Amino acid sequence: MEEVKNRFVTIKNHINGAPNESDFEIRSETIYTESKQVVVKNMYVSVDPYQLNRMKSHSSSQAAINFSAAITLGQVIDAYGVGRVVASGRPDFTKDELVVGLLTWGEYTIVEEGRLLNKLDPMGLPLTHHVGPLGFSGLTAYGGFFQVCKPNKGEKVFVSAASGSVGSLVGQYAKIFGCHVVGCAGTQDKVNLLKEKLGFDEAFNYKDETDLKSTLKRYFPEGIDIYFDNVGGEMLEAAVANMNTFGRVAVCGVISEYTGGGRSAAPDMLTVVYNRVTIQGFLAADYLKCYGDFISTTAEHLRTGKMQALCDISHGVESVPSAFIGLFRGDNIGKKIVQLEMNE
Ligand SMILES: NC(=O)c1ccc[n+]([C@@H]2O[C@H](COP(=O)([O-])OP(=O)(O)OC[C@H]3O[C@@H](n4cnc5c(N)ncnc54)[C@H](OP(=O)(O)O)[C@@H]3O)[C@@H](O)[C@H]2O)c1
């Protein structure tokens, strides 16, 4: 039996609005591991907006899928990540192996049988790539763009939260595929990055705009064929108003609605009917069947420099709350990750 001293982040109360540092605490525990468990030293863990919906007293997302189950106050919080095995009571994992899977916002994860955990072959790429573009954000972007948006070359694509983890990848897949891509983001620096580093055709700061419908009309005088929605709210309404006939809207997430401050989107359904617009929500987990294609295509794009990985890294378990809170303030550029193993 191994004894592990662990520090982890938890919530003190349910969070029904915007998150604050005071909602979180760092706890210490001593864990005595049992046979059949794998003890993983967490190295890099993912910080994602959906966790906020898990922290609410109630959210329709909590009953939808295991990944999004409600978080119990005071308990460890599951998160995707990369780590190293420090002890294993299972024949399929050995000490010192690199692994990727469902870890925690803590220094160690005790992995029970049945929990998502795979051996990781870094393929010569940085470990952070396996949390970002080759992790769930990447699968979300790949499955959402190719399977839900069903793009054709030359189509006009709009991406919101375009400098974020998922958005930055969607825009790059769309450019490589041969679409015309416009993104929006919340600062001028992010806008410059989209155009200068990621190859977007156009980009704008949505916070500078007063009438989003006219803004989108200006960027898409011939209409939008595909809208990859990461934010919901007014942006979704404005995009729907500009959709072309048989346009597709992939609803990946609605972050502007998570903190409860904004109102929910009410797109003009007459436009949806007469322009025969498809609006489809989806989850990354729906596209696990594309996993092999997704990894080989994306790894190749990253190796050849056709795609850029944007990773935004904070350090230490204490930084998890501020890293998470920052997502809702637009602090991050690209995939928000917390590094927990400083020797890497
Ligand atoms: N369906 C799925 O399986 C799945 C999987 C992963 C993520 N998602 C969803 O995809 C979206 C993006 O997730 P991500 O992990 O890539 O996060 P992210 O885009 O890396 O980070 C969040 C970004 O959203 C923007 N934002 C925050 N509040 C906003 C608001 N009120 N209005 C407009 N923009 C706002 C901020 O950028 P700005 O500076 O541009 O404001 C912020 O940097 C989220 O809605 C998330 O829930 C869905």
Domains of the chain: 3-132+309-339 (3.90.180.10), 136-285 (3.40.50.720)
Instruction: Choose which residue among 47, 230, 254, 336 to substitute to test ligand 1 binding: the one with the highest number of ligand atoms within 8 A of its C-beta.
Output: 230
Nearest to 71 by CA among 9, 120, 154: 9
The per-residue pLDDT for 316 is 97
Cα angle vertex 233, ends 227, 234, to 5°? Answer: 80
Once rounded to an integer, what is the mean pLDDT over residues 38-63?
96
Minimal-distance CA residue to ligand 1 atom 24: 161
Specify whether the CB–CB gap between 232 and 261 falls below 8 A. Answer: no
Does residue 344 carry a pLDDT above 70? Answer: no
325 CA to centre of ligand 1 in angstroms: 12
pTM of the predicted structure, to 2 decimals: 0.97
Does residue 48 carry a pLDDT above 70? Answer: yes
Minimal-distance CA residue to ligand 1 atom 44: 253
Which value, to the nearest 10 degrees, does the dihedral of the CA atoms of residues 77, 82, 87, 90 take?
90
Does residue 2 carry a pLDDT above 80? Answer: no
User: Within 10 Å of residue 147's Cβ, how many Cβ atoms?
Assistant: 15
Once rounded to an integer, what is the mean pLDDT over residues 288-299?
96
Does residue 262 carry a pLDDT above 80? Answer: no
Q: CA 239, CA 237: separation in Å to the nearest integer?
A: 5
Once rounded to an integer, what is the mean pLDDT over residues 27-51?
94
The per-residue pLDDT for 261 is 66
330 CA to centre of ligand 1 in angstroms: 9
Q: What is the pLDDT of residues 136-173, one digit of tens each?
A: 999 999 999 999 999 999 999 999 999 999 999 999 99
Specify whether the CB–CB gap between 243 and 213 falls below 8 A. Answer: no
130 CA to centre of ligand 1 in angstroms: 19
The per-residue pLDDT for 342 is 75
pLDDT, mean over the chain: 96
3-state secondary structure of 341: coil
Does residue 3 carry a pLDDT above 90? Answer: no
The per-residue pLDDT for 341 is 86
Please state, for a pLDDT cut of 90, what percent of the chain lies above it.
94
Residues framing ligand 1 (Cβ under 6 A): 48-50, 137, 140, 161, 163-167, 185-187, 190, 230-231, 252-256, 282-284, 327-328, 330, 332, 336
Minimal-distance CA residue to ligand 1 atom 2: 283
The per-residue pLDDT for 9 is 98
Nearest ligand 1 atom to alpha carbon 163:
40
Once rounded to an integer, what is the mean pLDDT over residues 216-223?
98
Does residue 257 carry a pLDDT above 90? Answer: yes
Q: CA 223, CA 247: separation in Å to the nearest integer?
A: 9
The per-residue pLDDT for 31 is 87
Does residue 30 carry a pLDDT above 90? Answer: yes
The per-residue pLDDT for 1 is 62
DSSP assignment of 147-207: IIS---TT-EEEESSTTBHHHHHHHHHHHHHT-EEEEEESSHHHHHHHHHTS--SEEEEGG
